[in-house]
Structure 1
Amino acid sequence: MPRTIVITGASDGIGAAAARRLVRHGHQVVLVGRSAEKTAAVADELGVPSFVADFAELAQVRRLAEELLGACPRIDVLANNAGGIMGDRTLTVDGYEKTFQVNHLAPFLLTELLMPALVAGRATVIQTASRAAQVFSRFDVDDLQNAERYAPHRAYGNGKLANILFTEELQRRYGDQGISAVAFHPGVVATGFAGDTTHVLRRIYHGRLKRLFTVSPERGADQLVWLAEGTPGETFAPGAYYEHRRITTGVRRKADPGAARELWERSAAMV
Structure 2
Amino acid sequence: MERGELEGLTAVVTGASSGVGAAAARRLAALGASVVVVGRAVAATRAVADEVGGAAFTADFARFSEVRELAEHLMARVPRMDILVNNAGVASPKRETTSDGHELTMQVNFLSPFLLTSLLWERLSQAPSALVVNTSSSLYRYGKIDVDDLDKSRGRYCHVGSYNASKLAGVVHAAEINRRAPDTMTAVAFHPGTVRSALDRKYPLVTAAKASLIGRRLTQSPEEGAEPIVKIVTADRATLRDVFYNRLKPEPLRSTAADPELGARLWERAELLTRA
Q: Which residue number in structure 2 is paired with residue 241 of structure 1?
A: 244
From 206, 212, 217, the counterpart of 2:222? 217
Show CA shifts across 1:44-80 (max 9, x none).
2222111000000000000000101111122000000
Q: How many Å apart are 1:203 and its aligned residue?
A: 5.2
Show CA shifts across 1:136-166 (max 9, x none).
x233223210223312121111100000000
Number of equivalenced pairs: 266
From 39, 45, 59, the counterpart of 2:45? 39
Q: Which residue number in structure 1 is paired with residue 193 of structure 2?
A: 187
Greater CA deviation, 244-253 or 98-107?
A: 244-253
Q: How many Å apart are 1:259 and its aligned residue?
A: 1.4
Q: How many Å apart are 1:209 and its aligned residue?
A: 4.9
For structure 1, the residue ranges without an aligned partner over 5 or more in a row are: none
1:167 matches 2:150: no
CA contact (8 A) 2:125 2:182 kept: no
CA contact (8 A) 1:84 1:193 kept: yes
Aligned-partner Cα distance in 2 for 1:215–1:55: 25
Residue aligned with 1:258, SS:
helix
Q: How many Å apart are 1:263 and its aligned residue?
A: 0.6
Aligned-partner Cα distance in 1 for 2:190–2:141: 13
1:90-109 superposed matches below 5 A: 90-109=96-115
Aligned-partner Cα distance in 2 for 1:90–1:209: 31
Q: Which residue number in structure 1 is paired with residue 130 of structure 2?
A: 123
Amino acid aligned to 1:194: D
CA contact (8 A) 1:139 1:255 kept: no
Residue aligned with 2:267, SS:
helix
The normalised TM-score by structure 1 is 0.91
The normalised TM-score by structure 2 is 0.90
For structure 2, the residue ranges without an aligned partner over 5 or more in a row are: 1-6
C-alpha spacing 1:21/1:169, structure 2 compared with 1 (3 Å): same
Q: How many Å apart are 1:206 and its aligned residue?
A: 4.8
Greater CA deviation, 19-28 or 29-38?
A: 19-28
1:77-156 superposed matches below 5 A: 77-121=83-127, 122-135=129-142, 137-147=143-153, 148-156=155-163
Q: Which runs of 4+ in 1 moved over 4 A?
A: 200-204, 206-209, 254-257
- Aligned-pair identity in percent equals 41
C-alpha spacing 1:111/1:58, structure 2 compared with 1 (3 Å): same
Greater CA deviation, 217-226 or 202-211?
A: 202-211
CA contact (8 A) 2:144 2:168 kept: no
C-alpha spacing 1:58/1:209, structure 2 compared with 1 (3 Å): farther
The RMSD of aligned alpha carbons is 1.9
Q: How many Å apart are 1:240 and its aligned residue?
A: 2.2
Aligned-partner Cα distance in 2 for 1:13–1:81: 10
